[in-house]
Amino acid sequence: MHLLEYSKDEEPLITSFDDDKLPPYAILSHRWGEEAEEVSFEDIAGNAGKDKSGYQKIQFCGEQAKRDNLQYFWVDTCCINKANKAEHSVAIRSMFRWYCNAARCYVYLSDVSALASGDERDARSLLWDSEFRHSKWFTRGWTLQELLAPRVVEFFSRHWRKLGDRVSLKSQIHEVTTIPHEVLEGSPLFQFSVKEDAAYSLSGIFNVDMAPVYGEGAEQAFGQLHDKIRKQEEHLRKQEECLRDLRATNPRNDKKRIEDTKGGLLVDSYRWVLDNTAFQEWRNEQHSRLLWVKGDPGKGKTMLLCGIIDKLQRSIPRTALLSYFFCQQTDARLNSATAVLRGLLYMLVQQQPSLVSHIRKRHDHAGRDLFEDANAWVALTEMWADVLQDPSLNTTHLVIDALDDFITEQSSTSSRVKWIVSSRNWPEIETQLERAERKVRLSLELNTESVAAAVNIFIRRKVDQLAQDKQYKEELRHAVLRHLTLNANDTFLWVALVCQDLTRVKANRHVLRKLALFPPGLNALYKRMMQQMSDSDDAKICRCVLASTAIFYRPVTVSELVALVEQLEDVSDDVREIISLCGSFLTLREDTVYFVHQSAKDFLFAKAYDEAFPDGSEAVHQAIFLRSLAILSKTLHRDMYSLEAPGYPLENVKLPRKDPLAVSRYPCVYWVNHLYKSKAFISSVGGLQAADVVNDFLRKKYLYWLEGLSLCNSVGKGILSIEKLWSLVQLVQDARRFIMYHKGAIEGYPLQTYASALLFSPTRSLIRQLFQHEEPEAISIRPALSEGWSACLQTLEGHSSEVRSVAFSHDSTRLASASWDWTVKIWDASSGACLQTLEGHSNSVWSVAFSHDSTRLASASDDSTRDGDVRVYICEVFATSKLREARLCCDLLLNREHTALRGKLCSVRRVGILYQIRLLRRRGAYFQKLSRY
């Protein structure tokens, strides 16, 4: 056994002992952090690892051991040589004995806080009691033995504050784990029945709800435990899958990227807003729900929000929620209303997991399509409304850097939710926000003194950095500082762009002359930068890069840029230099190309369109379309990730170190978008019709494209692309039937594209004939199939019993189905995704019908409570202007007498939502078709 002790120089050293000659030692129980931050056996042996965050735990354990007069201590991260597999295996088998033989066990709870001073009674106060009960330490696989095996177990907070021991905290531990008090007090384990208590105590460890039934026997107890654990694992699996599909981006990562791209968050540049009257009113007044921060481009709105978020994170109660989203207009994935809601929901659910139930009830039926198909916005707004109106929702703060209609509609929905939004001074936004209630305005243009002071602080920082990097003399430093201060016009972005350009001046004697060329104002500066770029020897290629980046649907990597822009082929080694020449418009962050600001992209389209797009933006789209198909034709093939087995699930796929799709991901998802924007389908492309080009690609690469879409988690977007091509190419009609029919298999298992999808397609399917060589050879008995596709477009699965009635909405976008399983389901007619499941009937549903405007649905059921009675449930299916379904709007008990029936129906008509309901009498042999009276 390896133990640690401190040398004379207070450095931890590894000492080895035979197991039968072990000295007294302390042992640590803790949760691992990031593996790269934990100190390893090799680190201790090489006197390294002190800069890792895990080193603090080793120091704590050693110092506490000293206080307990113990020379030696043991920490699993660095006392096991994992490089030696035999030693590692022995250590795993010896773990219980090592904890049992320890003189003391220190439990370090990294997610529990306590007072820095005070007696032990203060430390056990309610300030940390709740955190202790919910500590993730209790959910570890090793916790049970590390809690029960040692003679003395002591608990410490993340601040090294002692909370108590196993005996003094036995009540809390028992409530968390259900382990009997006697066991926690040290009674020998053999005195207790392991037949049932073993299972019951494990229920707390595995976080499952299991009521003890003493006398049921060990087999039944463990059977119940295994069943509970299996259900819990299935629940967690579905929850993780739901969060993975919901996540379009992680706003936390976006915030850090934005801050890093802009040179870091300068506290003094946003501190003023914290004392601003408008912010204080929003913060302190319960009735103030919405803080609207507005200002012109480049005034620092985004960084201001970053600073406010940091302040809120430090100051709001631990139970309060904070969610935010940075809308990126230059990235199509992050500039839509659906992206905003997905980002906000993702952060809220991570902080309060119980809220995921509002998403799960739809996601379990629809899967990823719930967030990506044509009706994603409808579904998301309904889920969003459910979350905001959840009675258990904690106090919530929402911060968004862009505006949309739903914000004005939702800002006063819940008294527990406060909003902060930022926007430009645009009339249409002004009009929208005028409708919002309980709002407070914070105009940057009306706080010029505060903004000017913040900009001046930013200028001093940038100039100091320039002076240090370029070795300015004090006179030059002062001249640059004065020029920027006089010309910045309270605009952070102008200062940043000028300073960025000054970094390229090689000789300091040219700085002042260069500085004088920069005009005040963003548009004037962009114009100057455009002229400067046009005067360079690489003007043509810079223009191509700039124009291409402006029309991409998301930021692309350098390798993708080189592949998609033909002009970069011969200068691929110098592409970063080319991007730097476009530096006033583009920036490079972690090998990905971004616009420096939305205003830069706006300038290209509004002020420099003819220069950036001399042949029109359609020509650039056309070039990207052709390059995309060329890339895909070269890189797509069967089993690109070497999965081999057709049943290999996508969720288990690991990204290869050398990704075969590295340059194919963007064209795989977006080539159809560029085709449509290019308008090439109405003109010839290099002497060929676009239809011929696409037709040739689909004939040769269609199945490989589907595999690529699956590996890119973009089958849903692929379906939308096929829909766009529906009327363009004859082959697309067969391709559309193929993907719609086999969507489920391809989406979950990429290689089923070549197995079940081909085998169960009609024998005369064009796709099957073109890719006959990809059919699995090992299958000798093949299913008998029709020659052509049947009249069935899709098979919608989800009901657990016979379907009794179906109805299309009048706009043909949705389909309703009624079943003997007492439910009504609403389907997206295009993608086949289940949008809603309406519950409430207590018997089979016989009929459904949409209203004329397709915003409402009526359902009739045989919910009889006595002979011959029929209950009618009328449920609403809302359009985009609505936010949630209304369950059981009206419940009618219809009697046999026609007059009574007529009276009841008249009362429904006044509600205004009855339309063509079919009623079946329980013992009758006929239907009655009832229209409006």
As given in the structure block, the two tokens for residue 538 are: 């690489």
Please provide the DSSP assignment of 626-664 as one string.
HHHHHHHHHH--S-TT---STT--GGG----SS-TTTTT
Q: What is the pLDDT of residue 627?
A: 93
**CATH topology assigned to domain 248-446:** Rossmann fold (3.40.50)
Give the pLDDT of residue 725.
Answer: 79
Domain with CATH 3.40.50 in the chain: 248-446
Spell out the CATH class of 521-614.
mainly alpha
Q: 209 vs 44, 50, 57, 184, 226, CA distance in Å?
A: 42, 42, 33, 21, 12
Integer CA distances (angstroms), 263 to 249, 308, 493, 536, 596, in order: 22, 17, 11, 27, 12
Q: What is the mean pLDDT of each run of 10 residues along the chain (933 residues)?
A: 88 88 93 88 88 90 93 93 82 84 93 62 60 88 85 91 91 87 75 56 61 66 79 83 88 87 79 88 84 84 90 87 85 78 92 90 84 82 88 90 58 75 68 60 80 87 89 91 88 87 87 86 86 85 92 92 90 85 83 86 89 90 93 94 89 88 94 84 58 86 94 86 72 82 86 90 87 84 79 77 87 86 84 79 83 80 51 38 28 34 35 31 30 28
Which string of b and e fits 98-108 if b means at least 16 CB within 10 Å?
bbebbbbbbbb
Is there a contact between 202 and 144 (Cβ–Cβ < 8 Å)? yes
Residue 28: what pLDDT?
A: 95
The two three-digit tokens of residue 146, written as one number: 């590390």
Q: In the CATH hierarchy, which top-level class contains the domain 803-893+907-931?
A: mainly beta
Handedness of CA 563, 569, 571, 572 (dihedral sign): positive
Q: What's the distance, CA 497 to chain centroid? A: 32
Kindly report whether the global pTM for this prediction surpasses the value 0.85.
Answer: no
**What are the residue ranges of CATH 1.10.10 in the chain?**
521-614
8 Å CB contact between 537 and 524: no
Q: What is the 3-state secondary structure (H, E, C) of 244-266?
A: HHHCCCCHHHHHHHHHHHCCCCC
3-state SS, residue 290: strand
Task: Answer for the pair 755, 707: CB distance below 8 angstroms, yes or no.
Answer: no
Q: Which helix (H) or strand (E) holds 784?
A: none
Scan for tokens 């000789």, then name that residue: 507
Rounded CA-CA distance 678/670 in Å is 12
Name the segment(s) of the chain with CATH classification 2.130.10.10.
803-893+907-931
